[in-house]
Amino acid sequence: MNYFSNIRIAFLSILLSCHNQYGQSAAPSGQLHRQITTAQFPKYICDNTINNLNISVLLDLSDRIEAPDQKENDIRNLMSIAQIFKDHIMKKRFNQLKDRINVFFEPNPSLNKTHEVIEKLKFDITKNSSKKVMESIEKNYAEYPPLLYEWAQKNPETKKGAAIWRFFKNKAADNCIKECHRNILIIFTDGYLYHKGDFLKVENRTSYINQKIINTSALYQYDWKTYAKEKDMGILWKQEDTLKNLEVLVLGIHKNNNQNPNAEEIITHYWSQWFQEMGIDHYTIKSTDATVYLKEAINDFILYRK
């Protein structure tokens, strides 16, 4: 073997040593995330992130659904979301399809029955998805959500409240945020954060919003916000900006017979401050309104462009 052959062999050995067992070039830790992302989604998908919807819907199935027409209004709003999502994917070029929609709920209205409903409301649309699957989106969102509400109304466990604070703490990052997508979480709730298992408090920060907080005497005043800021009242949160890639739309804030005229503003302030501390830049909080107006709010939020 001559001198030049030895050089070629040595050079090939160096090249091979720089590849891992999957044939990918070894990369510094700062480049690893980009490689994983590229491997999971083609570059042309990631380049079109703003048009790749990942919509998650969180239903508060606590006793709020006992309010007159609440079930019907929620279902109509769910159908609006499904329609907007379907219209969006039908307008995209098939080779650019990478869109998702699914539904979560707090609490679980029936541990033995909800799995099938979850699967029926989960759609991961790609270029390989059939037209039949796409056309079933609106049908499924009309047919299956009423079952969740029916089970919730019969289950006494739902009277314990909805663990929305813990959903954000333990589930939102994993379940609602995907690479190369616009991650949108839409929450149906009256705004009261309440669950019997989540009564944490550190000074004036709490894991809940309840009637007692809203009825704080100083919060009845015209300048209640000054008092709230001075006392650092708000939601307990120590996870900084772990959800900065999430956009949130809250639908249905309602004071629920509270006598404080500032009730809805206080609830909205709590949620807004909480989102800001999570690092969430794009959020909208809407009070209870006619379904037609909430449909407009949903449409505007989903079709929002920076």
Do 188 and 246 sit in the same domain of this protein?
yes
CB 277, CB 237: distance < 8 Å: yes
Q: Tell me the residue type at 290.
A: A
Q: Which long-range contacts (CB under 8 A, 24 or more apart) does 44-47 make?
A: 44/96, 45/96, 45/98, 45/180, 46/179, 46/180
Tokens linked to 45: 């998908």
How high is the mean pLDDT in each 10-residue block of the chain (306 residues)? 46 40 32 41 90 98 94 96 97 95 97 95 97 97 98 94 96 96 98 92 97 96 97 92 93 92 97 96 89 87 86
Do 87 and 30 sit in the same domain of this protein?
no
How far is it, in rounded angstroms, from Cα 209 to Cα 193? 5
Q: Give the model's pLDDT for residue 22.
A: 30
Do 177 and 157 sit in the same domain of this protein?
yes
Q: Give the model's pLDDT for residue 305.
A: 79
Q: Rounded to 5 degrees, what angle do the CA atoms 83, 85, 91 make?
A: 100
Q: Give the model's pLDDT for residue 241.
A: 79
Please state, as a whole number, how many other Cβ atoms lie within 10 Å of the Cβ of residue 299. Answer: 15
Range of the domain at 268: 41-302
Cis status of the peptide bond prior to 107, with omega within 30 of 0 = yes
Nearest to 243 by CA among 165, 162, 126, 299: 165
Q: Give the model's pLDDT for residue 136.
A: 98
Q: Rounded to 5 degrees, what angle do the CA atoms 149, 206, 253 make?
A: 40
Do 102 and 204 sit in the same domain of this protein?
yes
Do 157 and 92 sit in the same domain of this protein?
yes
Q: Give the model's pLDDT for residue 188.
A: 98
Do 232 and 243 sit in the same domain of this protein?
yes
Q: Tell me the residue type at 90.
A: M
Q: Give the model's pLDDT for residue 1.
A: 52
Q: Give the model's pLDDT for residue 62.
A: 96
CA atoms within 13 A on the CB side of 194: 19
Q: Give the model's pLDDT for residue 16.
A: 38
Do 172 and 260 sit in the same domain of this protein?
yes
CATH code for the domain in which residue 111 is found: 3.40.50
Do 15 and 158 sit in the same domain of this protein?
no
Tokens linked to 49: 């992130």
Q: Give the model's pLDDT for residue 160.
A: 94
Do 3 and 147 sit in the same domain of this protein?
no
Do 102 and 224 sit in the same domain of this protein?
yes
* 3-state helix vs strand vs coil in the chain, percent to 5: 50, 15, 35
| Count of structural domains within the chain | 2
Q: Give the model's pLDDT for residue 23.
A: 33
